[in-house]
Structure formats: structure tokens, C-alpha cells
Amino acid sequence: MTLAAAVLALPLAASGVADGQAWAAATYKVTATIPVGKIPSGVGVDTSAHAVYVANAGDSTVSVINGATNTVTTTIPVGDTPEGVAVDSATHTVYVANLHAGTVSVIDGATSAVAATIPVGSGPTGVAMDPATHAVYVANLDAGTVSVIDGATNTVTATIPVGGFPFAVAVDPSAHTVYVSNSGSGTVSVIDGATNAVTATIPVGGSPFGVGVDPSTHTVYVANALSGTVSVIDGATNAVTGTIPVGGELEGVGVDPSTHTVYVAIASSNTVSVIDGTTNTVTATVPVGSTPSGVAVEPSTHTAYTSNGGSATVSVISVADTDLALSQPANITADATSPSGAIVTYPPPAVTDEDTTSGPTCSPPPGTVFAIGTSTVTCSATGTDDTPSTVTVSFTVTVEGAAAQLADLSQAVQGVGPGTSLADKVALAHSDLAAGDIAGTCNTLSGFIQEVKAQADKMIPAATASMLITDAQRVQAVLGC
């Protein structure tokens, strides 16, 4: 890849850690397209202020986007050909690497003014910061070095030689480890943030550009522009544990650590590939603007921002909200086991929604004693980002009393045993019950049970006899015999 093409690529801005799970089945879509300056490149997010900063390499400015409204609120002049952007969300400070000026512009996010300009090495492109130490790391493409800036004093405290044409930088803040993609040597340099020493050099694919870190798993993702692959590095062992085929000319990388989702900009196809970090597979391809390069993620909203150098826009990629829904349970019929009814247990309905929801909760809940007759169960679930925010489904539980169970028993004894004796006894019990003669019903059922026992393994198969006895005894229990 030529340096002219490299001007469109992105270093990753460091992001915070949150708990969550990967959304392997989620659907992604562009929910907004925001016009910015010429040839937008690096993107960074202030996660506490929900502000997005975009370096416009073509007109040497930074566009500031309100993440709530997706509108540009101001444009800040910086140094010549700004490339990378990193944000310290704790101090609302923005660091911008100016490729042709050899400087880093420091922007006060509260005032949107350049507060300092720091000379670094030749050809600075990528920039990232460690939020715990407020150290800023700048990849100097032409110098083959990384400049380390003290964010408290805005001074360069170290210059670290790395591989050929270092382009992007990412930081694992929990380990204070820095990863530098060396586009000219096909490697990643690993820097110990405590000593500013290179502790490992890892071979990856051809012309690695973007690099991102999932700090919750200490996994590093490297976009190899010429290979069309993403190398997956285990930060604990510095070993490449996987190579993900993506295809095309890969540029920037963004990571959502709360869902272990990786976004990779593909300049040659005007798309962003979405990778499930738990399986290392591409789960979605999202069309964006022309020549996408930079990617940054707002973890709290699971929103990715991609700079499109060819169309002078930023694409906002969101998880397409699946409408909150509950599966419809089937109606339930159960036999009463006592005069009070029956204990009925049922599985709750399944919830469809990619976000965390409350519920489902059902009333009456599973395991309740349902009275004889028909009762309605209502289940509900709530998702705060859905409209409507609460959905409900209902189903019925019908508990059959003695009369209904005797009707079922009458069907069960047809053609069973000698003659019609059993069927006649059930008919008599049903007649007694209809007349309100509970004692007579109980006595008739006792006679039925004795006859079945006498015919078991003779005129009546043992399994059938056992079933008939159980049914008759259950009716007696319902009647309180």
C-alpha cells in the first residue's frame, strides 16, 4: 500500500471495559451519515461526554460530533494532515497526530480549543493513550519510532524504536501494554508501558494497519491491509492464535469490549466487517461510505463510528434493534389432584431481544396451585429501548375437576375388561356425582378400583390396570373421599 493510501487509515482509540456478551446474532445497520471535513481519517470517542472527534486529513481540521444528535457541533483547526485521534475520557482531552507537521495537537474537549502542540517524530499517524497512566503513545511512520507523551505535562518522555513504518497504536489499559502495527515489516511491536521497552515482535500478515485491543480478554486484533486478514494475538503469550479471512484492503479496527465485537474497515469494498470475537468469525458486512478507514466504538451504546475518506462523511453503525417479543405458550390442561385443584408448572415464554431485558415474569407463576376451572396466565417482559417497552402474552390453564375426569375415564374403559362392567360403574359414578351424591360416587369408584385390581394381569393388562386405578383414585382425591 502506498503512503497516499495510508493517509486514509486509522489507529484505534482506546476504549473502556464493560461487562457483557457477544452479540453473534445481532443485526447491524447504518443509522446516520454525518458530513465532516475533507478526507476524514482517525476517529476517537469521549465515552463520558459522548462526543466523537474526527481528524480531517484533507483540510487539517477536527470535526466534533455530538453522539446524541449525530450532528457536527464545531470544527477545530489543527496541524497539517491530521491522522490519528485518541481521547482521554477522564480529562476530556483529545490528542491528534498531524502527519506532515510532525506534531500532536492537544485539544481541550471542554472548550474545543487547541491547548498545546507537541513536536514528536517524523510522520506521526497512529495515537493511543493509557487511561490509567494518562500516557500517550504516537506512532511515527517515517521515523520508525513511538513517541511517549506525559499527558499531565504534554512533554515527550521517551522515544522507542520499533519496526518499519509503524502506523497504528493500541493500548491494553489493564496490562499497560502497547501494541504497534509496523506496516513496512509485517509485524507488531509489543511495548511494556512501565519500562517503555519493546518486549516482543510478532509476525502478522502483509502490511498491518489497524490494531485494536479487547482489554477484557487481552486479545489483540490486527488488520493486515495486503493480506485481507485479521490476525488475532493472545496478549498473555504474544502468540498469533488465529487468522480471520476478511478480504479486501483492510484499514482501521475498532473493538467493543462489552460485547467482544470487532469492527474492521475495508477501504476497497466500502464496507465494515463485523467479527464475533468469541468465535473469530465474520458475522456481518455493513455497507458504509466511500473508502472507509477509521473506526472507533462507544461501548455504552454499542455504536461504531467509521470515517469515509472518499465521501467526507462518518457512518454511524448501530445494532439494529430487534423488537421485543415473547413467544406464545400453548394452553395447558391438567387434572385436579385435590379439591383445591392442581399444582401446575410451565416453562416461561422465550424472549426475543438482543438487549438485556427484565423478565419474563408470569402471574400466576409456575408452581402455583390452580383452582378447578380455567385460569388465565399473563407473562410480561420489559426492554427500556423498545417501543412498546413492555410486551405481554397470555395463555390459559384449565384444571379438570371430578366430572371432566370421569368423562375421560369413561372413554378409557371402553372395551376394557369383561363385558361392560367397568364402563357401567363409571357411568354410575358420573350419575351419582351429577345428583350431588358424593358418598355414592366415592363408593362406586372404590368398587371400580377393586374390580380392576381383580382383573389385572388377567382380563386387563397390568399397565392399563395401573393407569385406570390411578385415574380413579385421583377422582376420589378431588372429591375428598
CB–CB of 131/16 below 8 Å? yes
Give yes or no: residues 179 and 265 share one domain.
yes
Give yes or no: residues 458 and 380 share one domain.
no
For the cut 80, the answer to whether the pLDDT of residue 467 exceeds it is: yes
Give yes or no: residues 236 and 357 share one domain.
no
pLDDT digits (tens, 9 = 90+) for 47-95: 999 999 999 999 999 999 999 999 999 999 999 999 999 999 999 999 9
**Count of C-beta atoms within a 10 Å radius of residue 245:** 10
What pLDDT score was predicted for residue 25?
53
**Residue ranges in 324-371 assigned as alpha helix (H):** none
| Listed residues 258, 286, 320: the one ending a domain | 320
How far apart are alpha carbons 26 and 319 in whole angstroms? Answer: 7
Closest CA to 135 of 176, 191, 83, 188: 176
**Count of C-beta atoms within a 10 Å radius of residue 62:** 26
Least confident piece of the model among 9-18, 149-158, 447-456: 9-18
Average pLDDT, the chain: 92
What pLDDT score was predicted for residue 353?
73
What pLDDT score was predicted for residue 322?
63
Dihedral over Cα of 247, 230, 160, 77: its sign: positive
What pLDDT score was predicted for residue 103?
98
Give yes or no: residues 65 and 177 share one domain.
yes
Percent of the chain with pLDDT over 90: 86
What pLDDT score was predicted for residue 137?
98
Least confident piece of the model among 236-245, 266-275, 356-365, 447-456: 356-365
CB–CB of 41/307 below 8 Å? yes
Please tell me what DSSP assigns to residue 118: E
For the cut 60, the answer to whether the pLDDT of residue 235 exceeds it is: yes
* Grid cell listed for 435: 345428583
Least confident piece of the model among 25-29, 369-373, 410-414: 25-29
Give yes or no: residues 152 and 233 share one domain.
yes
Q: Which one-letter amino acid corresponds to residue 469?
A: I
| Listed residues 348, 373, 399: the one ending a domain | 399
Give yes or no: residues 371 and 415 share one domain.
no
Give yes or no: residues 223 and 121 share one domain.
yes
Give yes or no: residues 46 and 68 share one domain.
yes
Please work out, in degrees rounded to the nearest 5, the angle formed at the alpha carbon of residue 143 by the alpha carbons of 137 and 148. Answer: 20
| Listed residues 320, 339, 369: the one ending a domain | 320
Q: What is the pTM of this model?
A: 0.69
What pLDDT score was predicted for residue 10?
33
How far apart are alpha carbons 278 and 167 in whole angstroms? Answer: 27
Q: 175 CB contacts (<8 Å, ≥6 apart)?
A: 215, 218, 235
Mean pLDDT value across residues 386-410: 91
Please tell me what DSSP assigns to residue 348: P
Give yes or no: residues 50 and 172 share one domain.
yes
Give yes or no: residues 413 and 388 share one domain.
no
**Count of C-beta atoms within a 10 Å radius of residue 134:** 16
* Grid cell listed for 225: 491491509
What pLDDT score was predicted for residue 277?
95
Q: Which domain holds residue 48?
A: 3-320
pLDDT digits (tens, 9 = 90+) for 299-350: 988 999 999 999 999 999 998 666 788 899 999 999 999 999 999 999 999 9
Mean pLDDT value across residues 154-166: 98
CB–CB of 274/286 below 8 Å? yes
Q: How confident is the model at residue 386 (pLDDT cuts 50, 70, 90)?
A: low
Domain count, the chain: 3
Closest CA to 272 of 301, 300, 243, 303: 303
CATH number, domain at 138?
A: 2.130.10.10
Give yes or no: residues 330 and 195 share one domain.
no
Give yes or no: residues 392 and 259 share one domain.
no
SS3 for 449?
A: helix
Q: 326 CB contacts (<8 Å, ≥6 apart)?
A: 349, 350, 351, 352, 360, 379, 380, 381, 391, 392, 393
How far apart are alpha carbons 438 and 398 in whole angstroms? Answer: 23
Q: How many Cα atoms are found within 13 Å in the side-chain-facing hemisphere of 413? A: 28
Percent of the chain with pLDDT over 70: 92
Please tell me what DSSP assigns to residue 460: B
For the cut 80, the answer to whether the pLDDT of residue 138 exceeds it is: yes
What pLDDT score was predicted for residue 1?
31
What pLDDT score was predicted for residue 449?
95
